[in-house]
Structure formats: structure tokens, C-alpha cells
Structure 1
């Protein structure tokens, strides 16, 4: 079996199976949902867990967080994209995520090779991104998972804080379909149940799934974890500021078409497959050179009045008696 296939097989086992324990989302069964994961996998109760809320009033600017170099993102792979339902999400992995698809720079100290991408979403009435910005949850989130090329296996990589680099992209709903997602959306009907997989009708460049290049220099960086058990704290996270636009009907295709893995006989719609934000604790969140940082909410027109008030107070307390 080729090395990449072995790596992706290991990724499937570790990312989606909680070391022998059964885990799920609250929409499946609250008894094995995210609040219970720390009892199923000790790592899920760690100090550097993901996702988080990104508070733009508290992020710190890091001028070293510049542009990424996306190697191979502009090339459609020769093999077909294979999409599957793994019982928790819709995921793309396998040989077509070949070794020529890598990321460097963007504040990363190593080269990271693409392994897979997958999605998290909510329901027809609620949002479902994992990361939030200033407390706002988005309709859906895309994760592109990469492994540090200095490590030979996924198991080895997840034992190091710099072992993995995940790019997180948030979504917003627009009036028009995003044609770059038509192929994926069309394939969903063929993977309705866990274990289903399909070769998509056409292949495409990964760049097609992302916001325009002009927006890829705006992102936030922090040290975190996988967002599913075993929640290994081995991820350099990058969450991009600019959402990807898709239509409501495209979003509904994720919500209405797919089903979770269950122990019962009745299928359960795959909705709300996200982990809520985890405590930041002692970590810092950094903003790239072009990302938005929120400053004081005090209107600028109030500043002269504040200065005048301070001057009057100084005169009152320090002036002649």
C-alpha cells in the first residue's frame, strides 16, 4: 500500500474514532456528545482544545503572519476526487490528495502536505461552524487538514504541537449558487449513509473551493487541537476571516441529504456536527498583517469630549484652592 494511502487510513482511524470509545454529536445522542468526550478520550479535556471563539478585541497583531504559498492548489489532480460519508461528516481523502499539494510560509516553519478536507454544519434553522468570530457562528466550516512533512506517519505527527496544520474556512449564505461547489453538492446524494462513497463527476483545483486570493492574507492563528476525539493537541490552526459564499439550497443539501452512523434501525439526519468553542485559557490568538482587529467601541466623536472632561478634572483637582 502506498505511503499516502497508509497515512490517510491512519488519519481515518485516529481523526474519527475515539480510541475504542463511541463518540457522537448531541444531535445524535447527548450521552456521547461533545460535553462527554473528555470521559471517552482524556485528551479532549486538555488546555489547548479547539475550536475557539476568536475575539477580535483581544487578538494580537503578528507582522510575521504573511501570505501563504499554496503549492499544487492550482492543479487539478489526475485521479478523481472520492467523497465519502464516514458517519460524522462528508470527507475527501485518498490518493488524489497527492504529495504535490502542500502549504508553506504564512508563519509556518515547516512544509505541510494536504491529507483531506471535510465540513461541519448546523441545521435548517441554526448555524454550524466550529469556530466563531466575536461570538458569531457561521452556517458551515471547511477544514483542510495538512501534515508536517518532517513526520512519516499521522500517528507520529499528532504527537507534536506542530504536527498538523488545519486551514479553517467559514461560510455565508448568498442568493446565488457557488458554481465551484456544484460538483461536491451533486455528489452528496450518493453518500447519504455511513460508508457510502462516490467518485465525483469531475475533478477540480483546491483553489476553487477557497475565497479569492486577495482575501487569503487575512487570517487568525492559534495553537489548538483536533476537534474530534482523540482531540490531540497537535494543530497549528489558521482561521480565515473572509467567508465563502454558497446558496441556501447548497447548504440545505448538506443538512437534508446525509445521515449519521447509528446503532438503531432508523437513520438520523446529519445535522449540527460541530463541537462548541472551547476555553482559550492561557493561549494567545494572533492576527495576520492584513486581518481585522477590533479596537475600542467608543465612537471617535466622543474622544474630544473625553479629552475636555479630563482637562476639566485636572484643573478642578490640581488648580488653585
Structure 2
């Protein structure tokens, strides 16, 4: 889908109007023509393999309570390439064991698979591409707006949440996003009753951490990424409602359902991917390794 739109509407508040999309002459293979950072060395998304990550004991864990505060204003919009919720007066995370400095939530949006396809998440985990991925975009709270932090080193912090459509019943918290008011590109609605973003989180908040970029133009390499291990679950019916729920304009003026709005996997290059785990998870893994080592030792003795 090749769509013309203002980046200010779509992602981060930049002022330039540039045509880009997810296929054809304006697709990801051509983004670097207009946005040079898209060809740089710390790009996102990436494929995360648990066995190739390193435990970082200095990393703290996100707490559900960090997300409890309800934003003052929440406006949901079909920006032509995604479903996005812009936030005013949202929560701030002030834990320097979790993030490098203080960050405020500015918006969240989704990436998902088109009908008839399965994988739509941007990141992969252990070879799996999930149906969808939510990105909660935060910016350093010393700035007045998200756009001011885009070109600053570690100016942004994005929390990635996988979405798995295997629940037997509808996820009523996710249902808040599936509203008819945003069917057409440009349509938006301000929630009468806002809600805490905590309701969109899984129970387990263990995560993977790496330094990367925005996954859409301008692909600025200013993002501290935290990708949660555990997905949230929605029903197959909700999956279909999302796939059939939003329309965007194609470059020829026609409309089509929005979907497959994800960037392909980028090279990790020399980046280290670390992980934050609970003590119980780390201990269980250590116990498993020790058990295997002991078993191998005694097995070797018995063979003599």
C-alpha cells in the first residue's frame, strides 16, 4: 500500500509531506531515497533469538503500576497506514533501572497482518512473527513534544507488545480500539472516557532491550527498544475486525483495507541484545543448566 500523508499525522510530528508506503516504488526498499537514516546501521525491527541475548542484571523490570495513570486526553485516529492513539497528559516513567532517563508516553499505534496472512508484527521472537504488534512511543520528558526528541540520542523509548489471536473469547480491553468511528482515513475520535494503558499489557513484563530506530520514515536511530516476551491475546474474531476495520487511500486514489503495515527485519550488525528477567526466571534457567551439567558429569563417570 503506497499512501501519501503528513508524517505529523502518522507518527512523530515532523512537518514534511512525503509519499511512502509498504510496497511498490514508495515501499521500504526505497525509503532511504528520501530518508537516509533508513539505510543506517542501527535500524529496527530485528529478529530476536532468546539464546543469543544476554541477561542484564542491572536492568529493572517494568511494573504494571507505572502505566496506571489515565491520560488527560486520548484521540484515536486512522492515519491512513495504521490505527494510532495520541495521548496528552499521559504517565511518566521515572525509573532509571528501566529506562535511561525520565520518559512520557506520547502515543501508541499498531502493525498487523492483512486478511489471509498470518504474520504482521515487526519484531520476530525465536523465529515467530506474531499477528500484530503494539508500539507505545515515549519521549524524554524534558521535551515539550514527541517531535522534539526524535533526533536526540535515546530521545525515544518504545515498548513493543506482541498480539496473539488465539483467545477463545474477546479481549474486552483490546475491544476499545475496534470502533467504527475510524473506518476511513483521517477519521478520528476523542474518547469520552479514557483508559489506562496498563490494560493493554500482558501479565509478564520481562523484556528484551536494544538500541534501534523508528520502524517508519524518518527511521531516526534514537530509540531505546523494550520488546516484551509475553504477548497479549485477542480472539480470531477481533483479528478479523481489525483487518476489515480500517481503510486507507492508495496512490491511484482508490481505497483498500490497511494491513501488512510492517517493515522487514533489519540487520543487527554489532548490537548487543540484552534481556531483563525476574529472579525466578533467571534462577530456573541457571538450575536447568546446572542440572544438565551434573547429569553429563555423572554420565561420563558411569561410562568408565
The alignment's TM-score, normalised by the length of structure 2, stands at: 0.85
**Distance apart, 1:152 and its partner CA:** 3.9
**Distance apart, 1:35 and its partner CA:** 1.7
Q: In the alignment, which residue of structure 2 is the partner of 1:253?
A: 241
1:222 matches 2:210: yes
Q: How does 1:154-169 map onto structure 2 within 5 Å?
A: 154-169=146-161
**Distance apart, 1:20 and its partner CA:** 4.0
**Distance apart, 1:66 and its partner CA:** 1.4
Given that 2:106 and 2:146 are in contact with CA atoms closer than 8 Å, whether structure 1 keeps it comes out as no
**Deviates most, 236-245 or 246-255:** 246-255
Q: In the alignment, which residue of structure 2 is the partner of 1:120?
A: 111
Larger radius of gyration: 1
Q: In the alignment, which residue of structure 2 is the partner of 1:176?
A: 169
Q: How does 1:172-251 map onto structure 2 within 5 Å?
A: 172-173=164-165, 174-185=167-178, 187=179, 189-200=180-191, 202-212=193-203, 215-216=204-205, 218-251=206-239
- 1:43 equivalent among 37, 44, 53: 37
- 1:138 equivalent among 109, 113, 130: 130
Given that 1:11 and 1:154 are in contact with CA atoms closer than 8 Å, whether structure 2 keeps it comes out as no
1:273 matches 2:270: no
Given that 1:51 and 1:131 are in contact with CA atoms closer than 8 Å, whether structure 2 keeps it comes out as yes
Q: Are the structure 2 counterparts of residues 162 and 71 from structure 1 closer, same or farther at C-alpha, using a change threshold of 3 Å?
A: farther
Q: Which has the higher strand share?
A: 2
Given that 2:7 and 2:13 are in contact with CA atoms closer than 8 Å, whether structure 1 keeps it comes out as no
**Distance apart, 1:165 and its partner CA:** 0.5
* Partner Cα distance (2:149, 2:135) in 1: 17
Secondary structure at the counterpart of residue 108 of structure 1: coil
* Partner Cα distance (2:15, 2:34) in 1: 7
Structure 1 portions without partners, runs of 5+: 1-8, 313-321
Per-residue Cα deviation, 1:148-195 (whole angstroms, up to 9, x for no partner): 01334434412222100001100112111111122221x1x2211211
* Partner Cα distance (1:177, 1:19) in 2: 39
Q: In the alignment, which residue of structure 2 is the partner of 1:103?
A: 93
Q: Are the structure 2 counterparts of residues 155 and 209 from structure 1 closer, same or farther at C-alpha, using a change threshold of 3 Å?
A: closer
Q: In the alignment, which residue of structure 2 is the partner of 1:76?
A: 70
Aligned residues: 291
Query: What is the RMSD of the two structures over their aligned residues, measured on CA atoms?
Result: 3.1
